[in-house]
Every structure is written in C-alpha cells, then in structure tokens.
C-alpha cells in the first residue's frame, strides 16, 4: 500500500458536507458526504460529526486512514464567528490527524469549483446572496452576504419575502391580484374563506399570523413559486432579483474574468438570468459564466494549493470528472 501524503478538501455546508480525497498531484481518490458541517448553524459537536462522516466515507472509498492525510482544508461560512479551528482539530486528532488544518471561505471554494484562474468572480445566489472578487487566488473584494435582515438581495430569501409581501398586499387590497396568493396560502395550510373580520379577509389575518410564527429565513421556501407561476407579479419579482444580483456584482467588478455561479437562483435560465445580464450590459460580455453545484471540487483545489501542488485547468477538469463519477 502506498503511504504518500494525502489531502482532504471539505465543503462544509449548513445542510450537507462533502469531502474529496486527493493526492498531491490532484488525482481524486475518494469522495464522501455527511450531514451539517457548519458550527455556526449546527453547533460544534453536530458540525464535527457531519465533517467526520464525510471524511470517513471519503477515506473508506480509498481504503485509507486519517493518519495518512497531511492537509485538511474545510471550506465553510462564518469561520471568524466560530472562534478558530480548534473545535475541529481536537475532534480530528483522536482519529490520527496531525497535519495542517487550514480553513477557507465557502465562496472561495465555489470559485475554484468552476475556475482555476487566480483572478475572477464567484456569485452565490441560494438562500442568501453574496459575491466575491478573486485576485492572486485570494478574496480581494466582497459584496452583500449581509444576511436576511440587511442584505442578501436577489437571493431565495429575498424572492420568498417578496412573494409573501405580494400575497399579503393582494389580500389587503393594497397590491395587485396575483396567483402567488393561493400558492402562499396553501403553503401554510390555508385557503380563501370568504369571511371578513373588521373589514379584513379572515385568510389575511391567518396568513399574517402564520408568517410571523416562523423564522424569517424560512421565507426562502416560497421562492420556487415565482419560477412556477406565469404571473405578472411573479415575473416582476424575478426581474428585480436579477437586477439586484447584477448591482451586487457591479460593486466589485473591476476587470474581465470567469464568473462562477453557485446556488439555484441565478444558475437556471429564465427571467432572473436575463435581467441579470441585461442590467450588466456590456460588462457581461467580458465575463464567462460557469455554474457549479457546490464547492466540493473547489475545496479539493484549495487543499492542493495549500499543499503547494499545481491546481490548474487540467487539475480542475480531472477533479470535476472524478467527483461527478463518485457522486
């Protein structure tokens, strides 16, 4: 059995964690998935279990042990708030790991999942929304990513909140009629009653109560309805979302380069993408859009870079094919 040093790139998300095992030459040897891996949203213990489950699966598929791994690079959001790396190191060490542990941004992993160039951009538009400018392989500029209360413009949450507001304004008589209203009512197990209380529809009062009973971030679950309804209000919401994402990118846009897109909002063809490109205008011609499913490949690319290896276009293509075959 070979005892060459191995590398682990880990895409640790709020829902799923993915681990990619490579050698220093960038050959993918194993892949594994686990549960929630972000200590901010899941807590250190649960996050560590999600990471370890993914790591165990990746190592098992290659018949290797954690003691064989010299570099581990977890890519995740909010590491400054997590208070450093010890929460994970102390959980890896009992399994034999004594190498380099380097945390990276999940946005940087998204970028390197779609591009090997040292300069370019990544835009994630999922539940939240954020954009980074990459220069010399590091994050050189950031736009939005400010959370549901202050930012995340054009995100799934932003779209969901706009849908909820449109439904409420429809029922309140302060906004246009929209097919989104019945979708939102059904989402919360409600329906039109035809009954008024103090001059308001009963379903409006019930809907408002339901909306306030749930955490705001759950409004992101309403976002698919805007894509599914051939409705003027839904279309306008999507157009505005695309324009918001373009404005966020424009704030950090400096020069041509690849634009790696993560998340489901901008990745799909349709009104959001069309409005996004229209808003960018001529600047869009200098960008090469590349959609990625997650940051797993990019986390492996970051691990190779951390180990001093060559993470070029050939390595990216090889890893992309290999990880796709493992999934």
| CA distance linking residue 75 with residue 51, whole number of Å | 11
Model confidence at 79, in pLDDT bands (50, 70, 90)?
Answer: low
The encoded tokens of residue 81 equal 């708030």
Residue 163 confidence (pLDDT): 98
Residue with tokens 């989402």: 187
Look at residue 32 and tell me whether its pLDDT is greater than 80: yes
pLDDT, one tens digit per residue, over 298-308 is 999 999 999 99
Residue 1 confidence (pLDDT): 42
E strands of the chain, at which residues? Answer: 6-12, 17-23, 28-34, 69-76, 100-101, 104-105, 120-125, 129-135, 138-144, 196-197, 200-201, 257-262, 287-291
| CA distance linking residue 252 with residue 228, whole number of Å | 32
**Contact yes or no for 161/219 (Cβ under 8 A):** yes
Look at residue 39 and tell me whether its pLDDT is greater than 80: no
| CA distance linking residue 101 with residue 303, whole number of Å | 10
Mean pLDDT of the chain: 92
pTM over 0.85: yes
Which spans in the chain are helix H?
39-42, 44-62, 79-82, 86-92, 106-114, 147-150, 156-172, 180-187, 202-213, 224-228, 232-252, 264-267, 271-280, 296-306, 313-326
Look at residue 211 and tell me whether its pLDDT is greater than 90: yes
Domain residue ranges in the chain:
6-102+295-326, 118-293
Q: One fold for both 6-102+295-326 and 118-293?
A: yes
Phi, psi of 211 (to 5 degrees): -65, -40
Look at residue 42 and tell me whether its pLDDT is greater than 90: no
Cβ within 8 Å of residue 106, ≥6 positions away = 11, 12, 13, 75, 76, 77, 124, 295
Q: pLDDT: is 40 or 102 the higher one?
A: 102
Phi, psi of 168 (to 5 degrees): -65, -40
Residue 84 confidence (pLDDT): 66
Cβ within 8 Å of residue 243, ≥6 positions away = 154, 275, 276, 279
Q: Is the dihedral of CA 24, 25, 27, 29 positive or negative?
A: negative
Residue 192 confidence (pLDDT): 94
**Contact yes or no for 138/147 (Cβ under 8 A):** no
CATH 3.30.460.80 fits 118-293, yes or no: no
pLDDT, one tens digit per residue, over 50-70 is 899 999 999 998 999 999 999
What CATH number should be reported for the domain whose range is 6-102+295-326? Answer: 3.30.420.40
| CA distance linking residue 186 with residue 108, whole number of Å | 38
| CA distance linking residue 135 with residue 305, whole number of Å | 15
pLDDT, one tens digit per residue, over 89-144 is 888 899 889 899 999 999 999 999 999 999 999 999 998 999 999 999 999 999 99
Cβ within 8 Å of residue 127, ≥6 positions away = 152, 155, 156, 157, 217, 220, 263
- pLDDT (average), residues 311-326: 94
Three-state DSSP at 235 gives: helix
Residue with tokens 């200098």: 286
Residue 82 confidence (pLDDT): 53
| CA distance linking residue 93 with residue 128, whole number of Å | 33
Cβ within 8 Å of residue 90, ≥6 positions away = none
**Contact yes or no for 155/220 (Cβ under 8 A):** yes
The encoded tokens of residue 133 equal 């400018």
The encoded tokens of residue 122 equal 């990544």
Q: Quick one: what percent of the chain has pLDDT higher than 90?
A: 78
């Amino acid at each position: 059995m070979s005892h060459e040093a191995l590398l682990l790139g880990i895409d640790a998300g709020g829902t799923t964690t993915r681990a990619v095992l490579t050698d220093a030459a960038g050959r993918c040897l194993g892949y594994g998935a686990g549960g929630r891996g972000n200590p901010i949203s899941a807590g250190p213990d649960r996050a560590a279990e999600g990471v370890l489950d993914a790591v165990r699966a990746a190592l098992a598929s290659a018949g290797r042990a954690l003691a064989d791994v010299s570099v581990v690079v977890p890519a995740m959001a909010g590491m400054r708030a997590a208070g450093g790396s010890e929460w994970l190191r102390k959980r890896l060490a009992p399994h034999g790991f004594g190498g380099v542990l380097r945390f990276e941004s999940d946005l940087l992993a998204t970028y390197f999942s779609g591009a090997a160039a040292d300069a370019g951009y990544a835009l994630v538009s999922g539940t939240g929304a954020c954009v980074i400018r990459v220069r010399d392989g590091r994050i050189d500029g950031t736009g939005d990513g400010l959370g549901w209360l202050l930012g995340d413009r054009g995100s799934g949450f932003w779209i969901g909140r706009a849908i909820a507001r449109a439904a409420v304004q429809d029922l309140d008589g302060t906004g246009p009629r929209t097919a989104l209203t019945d979708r939102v009512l059904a989402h919360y197990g409600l329906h039109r009653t035809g009954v008024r209380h103090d001059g308001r529809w009963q379903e409006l009062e019930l809907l408002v109560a339901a909306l306030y009973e749930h955490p705001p971030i759950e409004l992101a679950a309403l976002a698919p309805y805007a894509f599914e309804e051939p409705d003027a209000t839904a279309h306008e919401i999507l157009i505005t979302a695309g324009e918001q994402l373009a404005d966020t990118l424009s704030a950090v846009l400096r020069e041509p380069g690849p634009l790696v897109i993560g998340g489901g909002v901008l990745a799909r063809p349709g009104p959001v993408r069309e409005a996004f490109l229209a808003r960018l205008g001529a600047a869009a011609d200098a960008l090469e859009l590349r959609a990625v499913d997650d940051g797993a490949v990019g986390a492996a690319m970051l691990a190779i870079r951390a180990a001093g290896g060559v993470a070029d276009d050939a390595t990216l293509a090889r890893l992309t094919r290999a990880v796709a075959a493992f999934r």
